[in-house]
Structure 1
Amino acid sequence: MTESTPFDPASATIVVVTYNRSGLLTRLLESIAVMDPKPGHVVIVDNASIDDTTAVVDSFRERVGTEIVYRRLDENTGGSGGFSEGMRVAYELGSTWIWLMDDDVEVIPDGLAKMGAWAPRFKSIQGRRYDYDGSPFYWQYRIAEPLAIPIPYAPAGFDETRYKVMNSGCFEGMFIHRDIVRQIGLPDPRFFIYWDDQTYGWLASQRTTSVIVDDFVLRRTREIRQWDMGVRHLNASSDAYRYYIMRNRAIIKQYYRSAGVYRPALFAAGTALTFAKELIRLVAVERKVRGTSNLWRGLRDGGKIARDSAWQPMPPLAA
């Protein structure tokens, strides 16, 4: 869908979710301070940090070069809850474009200009990222919809168009128009962590042509333990992630049901493949076998969600 008006950087809001990582947040805010152009607002959602995050935010108010809107939550709502609240604040500020990012990235100085160059053509855009070591970071931009899992070997290269159609999303850099947010609602805080951004990106792709573009706009600032498989990497995880990886499959199932695309056998195959992948991650990346109980607990609790006949997707927003 084509925008009739040129991109105005002041119409964009950066939304950052942070939790007890003031050092990383400092690096991100320093990168925003030297951006050119800058967004109209920076919304920072603090998931009830107990470090010096509030003091860090206050120290940047006069030097970041744009308005900071700080929301400190009363409890940790996970990345899902944080991005849901951040999106709500940005939407209510009247933002035309909302750029989501975790606290463990920094912005390339002309990153907003690069994203804005695509804004007249698309309404759901993902830019590229450099990894911690400066290499291009590969993100699985397409999912196998019936299985509801990422396609790990979707081609990484770009042709002369410099974009590829995607049906997923990542809150580490999602750039989305308020028209799409209005239609699909806020990110679902019930995920807490994991699958939330993939599902939100999938929902966006049902309403517009979503794309990943060949422009580097972010750099990751946190090193994560990985298993190098040559073409791709498998990152380390945690017991909490293992639990939500399996539990939240049930929330995806409910979204699929509401959209009329749920295919029981294929979805179950995707769940089995996800379980197998987490077993491989445990052994190959984390070098241990303990932790499988969290996968089983996630499956058990997901069953309760899947059987909830009163479950509803996130509602659309008022214009």
Structure 2
Amino acid sequence: MKTAGVVVTYNRKEELVKNIKAILSQSYVVDRYYIIDNHGSDNTEKLLQEEGILDNKVIEYVYLKENIGGAGGFYTGLKMAYEDGYDYICLMDDDGRPADDKMMEFLVKRAEELHSANELLLLNSLVCGPADILSFGLNGGIKTKQIAAEREKDNLIVGTINPFNGTLVSKELVEKIGYPNKDFFIKGDEQDYYYRALKANAFVATVFDSNYYHPVLECKSFKIFGKVKKGSTEAPWKEYYRARNFTYMFKRDGEPIKYVRQNVRQILIAIKYSPKKMQTIKMILKGWRDGVSGRLGPTVKP
């Protein structure tokens, strides 16, 4: 059995170095680690050379000719690892890293135990922030490690993950559903891969004792229909891709009410919190329209 890792990076060289050093310090070290540099401009390669990282035979550094977004980066990395014959591929972003030296060992061990029952595997580490808080939370109101401990059964929380944050994919699943949709550019490609895995009857679960660190997502509180909700708003061009890609996904899956709710929510958050309210709202509406029509690709630039 051969295992690879993939990390996609863009202008976060210091965080990337922390990620790589954590991966190389694991009790179970991957056979190959693909670093996909999305045409960054912060001299990432120079720092990796200075740190001696590029001298390690496990490392394969790939500098892309253009920025093809996170979706394109994960498409490229997963495709390379799959075509190179790896049995399991672990996907990570550059602003997270293993929380301890056992993350990969526990993740791969669990995959091997489950593989005979279902070859289609999408397993995730538990994505933790500081203290007891989960970085993104999991479906079913699982927001802390304590709640996760109450919900896990046989060290698994089945059906819910935080994809592309310490996410192990079996080669059989890649054969079945392919690669992340590179035409998403940014936003939602990881959720799309998760939904496609569920549709393919893959075994999807969070492995409780495999821990991955990621900063906690900052959310704002707002009221909608009398209920307090939480969410975040980003630059207008990023909100375009969020609206477009999730609209595209939910329309494809026959769930229009979901993209209506999400887009209305993002508009309300923008009205209350965005410093560029009108520009953000226009971008959300444009993304909504393009998602319905299926217009994908890098259509809006920063």
TM-score scaled to structure 2, two decimals?
A: 0.81
1:251–1:269 Cα change, 3 Å: closer
Deviation of 1:235 (Å)? 3.6
Distance 2:238 2:244 in 1: 10
Conserved 8 A contact 2:90-2:167: yes
| Structure with greater helix percent | 2
Conserved? CA contact 1:226–1:285, under 8 Å: no
Identity of aligned residues (%): 23
- Equivalent residue runs for 1:191-270 within 5 Å: 191-205=184-198, 206-220=200-214, 222=215, 225-227=218-220, 234-253=231-250, 255-256=252-253, 262=254, 267-270=255-258
- Structure 2 unaligned segments of length 5 or more: list them: 116-120, 223-227, 297-302
Any gaps of 5 or more consecutive residues in structure 1?
Answer: 1-7, 143-150, 257-261, 309-319
Q: 2:287 aligns with which of 292, 295, 298?
A: 298
Aligned residue in 2 for 1:78: 69
1:36–1:152 Cα change, 3 Å: same
Give the equivalent residue in structure 2 for 1:129.
127
Other structure's SS at 1:303 match = helix
Amino acid at match of 1:69: E
SS of the residue corresponding to residue 17 of structure 1 reads strand
Structure 2 contact 134–216 (Cα < 8 Å) conserved? no
User: Counterpart in 2 of 1:95?
Assistant: 86
Q: Provide Cα deviations, 1:163-194, integer angstroms capped at 9, x if missing partner.
A: 12216651122111011011111111011112
Residues 235-293 of structure 1 show CA distances to partners (whole Å, capped at 9, x for unaligned) of 4422222101221135315653xxxxx2xxxx221111101221243255546633111
Pick closer, same or farther for the CA change 1:244–1:85 going to 2, 3 Å. same
Aligned AA (1:41): R
Checking the alignment, whether the CA contact within 8 Å between 2:263 and 2:288 is kept in structure 1 is: no
Between 1:171-180 and 1:233-242, the stretch displaced more is: 233-242
Matches of 2:161 and 2:208, distance apart in 1? 16
| Contact 1:283–1:289 (CA under 8 A) maintained in structure 2 | yes
| CA separation of 1:23 and 1:62: change in aligned 2, threshold 3 A | closer
Is 2:170 aligned against 1:177? yes
| Local SS of the residue matching 1:137 | strand
1:153, distance to aligned residue in structure 2 (A): 6.8
What do the CA deviations read for 1:212-236 (whole angstroms, capped 9, x no partner)? 121242111x46543369x996344
Structure 1 segment 57-76 matched on structure 2, within 5 A: 57-60=48-51, 62=53, 66-76=57-67
Q: Quickly say closer, same or farther: Cα 1:279–1:251, change in 2 above 3 A.
A: closer
Q: Is the 8 A contact 1:38 1:66 kept in 2?
A: no
Question: Aligned partners of 2:162 and 2:127: how far apart in 1?
Answer: 14
Q: Does 2:101 align with 1:109?
A: yes
The alignment covers a number of residue pairs equal to 278
Residues 26-45 of structure 1: matches in 2 within 5 Å?
26-45=17-36
Q: Which amino acid aligns with 2:93?
A: D
Over residues 131-171 of structure 1, what are the superposed CA-to-partner deviations in whole Å (9 max), with x where a residue is unaligned? 1x3433154555xxxxxxxx767974424422122166511
Partner of 1:271: 259
Find the residue that maps to 1:218 and give its secondary structure.
strand
Cα 1:271–1:117 shift into 2, 3 Å: same
Change (3 A) 1:232 1:68: farther
Mapped pair 1:15 → 2:9:
no
Contact 1:225 1:236 in 2 (8 A): no
> Compared with structure 1, are the counterparts of its residues 138 and 305 closer, same or farther at alpha carbon in structure 2 (3 Å cutoff)?
same
Instruction: Give the drift of 1:203.
Output: 1.3
